[in-house]
Structure 1
Amino acid sequence: MSNSSDFSDPVYKEISLTNGYINRMSRDELRAKLAEFKLDTRGVKDVLKKRLKNYYKKEKLMQKQPIAADNYYDYICIIDFEATCEEGNHPEFTHEIIEFPIVLLNTRTLEIEDTFQQYVKPEINLQLSDFCINLTGISQDLVDKADEFPKVLQRAVDWMKQKELGSKYSYSILTDGSWDMSKFLNIQCRVSRLKYPSFAKKWINIRKSYGNFYKVPRNQTKLSSMLEKLGMDYDGRPHSGLDDSKNIARIAIRMLQDGCELRVNERLHGGLLLTVSSSTPIEGAPVPQMPRFR
């Protein structure tokens, strides 16, 4: 354990005093100070405070002991599935994935390096509801021409392997909430008679990370609210899987810039959704493999 976590060190006293000073600043004072350090000045007051506190904290700790960048994921894969749905989904409705996007975020450059996107043909409800078409912008024609899920998953796995994820580079999956993995992928694997893929068993739920980092209640962590609080507009078409994933990536980039260490906080075990403790060491996901058929 490094001595940087010894809170009796005088540097933590300095950080605490600085935090108190920042808490008393007005929004205009915060923005002026952030501009002085060439930091982003967008966002609500609490976001600006957090950004400035983290900047000072990082500066103070860097003077004390440089932080090694080797213990963080090289890449984050943002995944936001679109699935079949009906207006007022009744509990027994089976959601099937109809769009599979991945946005590859390089955590060193903080840039989107590449994207993957495929539409998926449903196997149970072949006909999309009008509600689903209007919500997602995915037409009946697009899914009719698409391949079924196992072929699309194989392509996603091949794409991730080609990027050397899990072999040369460490990575983690990131989602907007728990549903993408614990519900949509879980249901889809049962429909397609596939075992659940091991590389998707742990992920970063950005809503949880955002709420904890910016001290925001969980009901204020919808995608639109997170963007708004950070002073950003939605870019693209809402409920397009790829556009949603890109916007989630923009939030992740801002959080990393603000000093948040996005880390795995949820996992699926025996079909159950579990929380991963923040004290668990950072460990990348395994090399993506196509799961076996059941």
Structure 2
Amino acid sequence: MMEEQKENVEFPGEAKESEGVAGSAASPPFYQRKQRCRLDCQDDNQKKSMSSSSDFSDPIYKEISLTNGHINRMSRPELRAKLAEFKLDTRGEKDVLKKRLKNYYKKEKLMQKQPANAENYYDYICVIDFEATCEEGNQLEFTHEIIEFPIVLINTRTLEIEDTFQQYVKPVINPQLSDFCINLTGISQERVDKADEFPKVLQSVIDWMKQKELGSRYSYAILTDGSWDMSKFLNIQCRVNRLRYPAFAKKWINIRKSYGNFYKVPRNQTKLSTMLEKLGMDYDGRPHSGLDDSRNIAQIAIRMLQDGCELRVNETLYDGQLMTVPSSVPIGGAPVPQMPGFR
């Protein structure tokens, strides 16, 4: 869905996301703030413990540090030349190129010390970016319903898009799309009129994921562009259809948060268009098409994996509240998708 639309959406009875913290819910109840603080403190303490117990006296870390210092002094043409030498991508701004080269050297050095164990990572990442009914200005009382459900499947071993899923959804509360929505998404009234309602589409999604053996034979994680797709749009849609929230979608990777942390950039530089620009990539397709947006988000995720980023689940919906998943939590795939029961 349109980035500005997502950021401006407010839902009755729900707090708007805080502008100060990327992807965190604003002003949760006191007991949840206390719980979040406790989780964050545990995360910090574990990081400190891990840091102190790691053998950074090993000469290999000194080599990595010296190499990083050398890379910091390189010009953009020098960075591009060195990346080309290693057959790495040469697109992107200078800070991105430095990060890419540093991670390449670090990975090579550490692999010499101890081969990386790729078995602990997700086999697949499912990129999801919904399109929903909307009005110009997003009136508070307007209920947003999902009208396009796309999935782009990334194979994390080959770092390629392996398959895609797409179905349109018939809205029931506001069955007539606004002209603004049609122009924004490119989804016609005729298309949604002929589509199935959400419960049947969700069953098709689950059948497709099971066919791919996600959660059974292969581990996987969901990835989204921000917090809204899962914590807001899917959450509201399940309420509209009186469905329980599906267990397989309760945790996800917020790529905006991952991108900001990995490349050390502020929140205002983590919009889809900006991430693509900083990485030296162009948008491919029609903006605000759910499937095309998902494909472009997938390309950013692939580039980040290539640059050495370990994309991890970093957000969860817990008791209806958006919460951060500490980085100390071990990587674990989502469960086998199952159709949720009715409320």
* TM-score bin (small chain): over 0.9
Aligned to 1:173: 222
Instruction: State the one-letter code of the partner of 2:210.
Output: K
What are the equivalent positions in structure 2 for 1:11-50 lying under 5 Å apart? 11-50=60-99
Q: Match of 2:275, SS?
A: helix
What are the equivalent positions in structure 2 for 1:114-133 lying under 5 Å apart? 114-133=163-182
Deviation at 1:6, TM superposition (A): 2.5
Instruction: State the one-letter code of the partner of 1:85.
Output: C
Aligned to 1:59: 108
Matched, 1:109 2:158: yes
Deviation at 1:142, TM superposition (A): 0.5
Q: Match of 2:260, SS?
A: helix
Out of 268, 271, 285, which is 1:219 matched to?
Answer: 268
Aligned to 2:325: 276
Q: Match of 1:121, SS?
A: coil
Aligned to 2:5: none
Aligned to 1:155: 204
Q: 1:222 to 1:24 in 2, by over 3 A?
A: same
Matched, 1:97 2:146: yes
Deviation at 1:272, TM superposition (A): 0.3
Q: Give the distance between the partners of 1:43 and 1:284, measured in 2 at CA.
A: 31
Number of residue equivalences: 294
Q: 1:59 to 1:6 in 2, by over 3 A?
A: same
Q: Give the distance between the partners of 1:20 and 1:31, measured in 2 at CA.
A: 17
Aligned to 1:186: 235
Instruction: State the one-letter code of the partner of 2:107.
Output: K
Aligned to 2:13: none
Contact 1:133-1:139 at 8 Å conserved across structures: yes
Q: Give the distance between the partners of 1:64 and 1:92, measured in 2 at CA.
A: 58
Deviation at 1:4, TM superposition (A): 10
Out of 144, 164, 182, which is 2:193 matched to?
Answer: 144
Deviation at 1:188, TM superposition (A): 0.1
Aligned to 1:285: 334
Aligned to 2:123: 74
Q: 1:4 to 1:241 in 2, by over 3 A?
A: farther
Q: Give the distance between the partners of 2:102 and 2:86, measured in 1 at CA.
A: 12
Out of 153, 178, 183, which is 1:134 matched to?
Answer: 183
Deviations 1:143-173 (A, max 9, x none): 0000100000000000000000000000000
Instruction: State the one-letter code of the partner of 2:293.
Output: D
Aligned to 2:8: none
Contact 1:81-1:99 at 8 Å conserved across structures: yes
RMSD over aligned CA atoms reads: 1.4
Aligned to 1:256: 305
Deviations 1:76-126 (A, max 9, x none): 000000000000101221110000000111000011111000000001001
Q: Give the distance between the partners of 1:69 and 1:44, measured in 2 at CA.
A: 29
Q: Which runs of 4+ in 1 moved over 4 A?
A: none
Instruction: State the one-letter code of the partner of 2:64.
Output: I
Q: Match of 1:99, SS?
A: strand
Out of 292, 303, 310, which is 1:243 matched to?
Answer: 292
Deviations 1:14-39 (A, max 9, x none): 11111111111111110011011111
Deviations 1:28-84 (A, max 9, x none): 110011011111000000100000000000000000000011000000000000000
Q: Match of 1:42, SS?
A: coil
Contact 1:4-1:61 at 8 Å conserved across structures: no
Percent identity reads 88
What are the equivalent positions in structure 2 for 1:203-214 lying under 5 Å apart? 203-214=252-263
Deviation at 1:278, TM superposition (A): 1.0
Q: Give the distance between the partners of 2:279 and 2:83, measured in 1 at CA.
A: 14
Q: Give the distance between the partners of 2:322 and 2:136, measured in 1 at CA.
A: 26
- Name stretches of at least 5 consecutive residues in structure 2 with no aligned partner: 1-49
Deviation at 1:5, TM superposition (A): 4.1
Contact 1:15-1:56 at 8 Å conserved across structures: yes
Q: Give the distance between the partners of 2:211 and 2:53, measured in 1 at CA.
A: 38
Q: Match of 1:15, SS?
A: helix
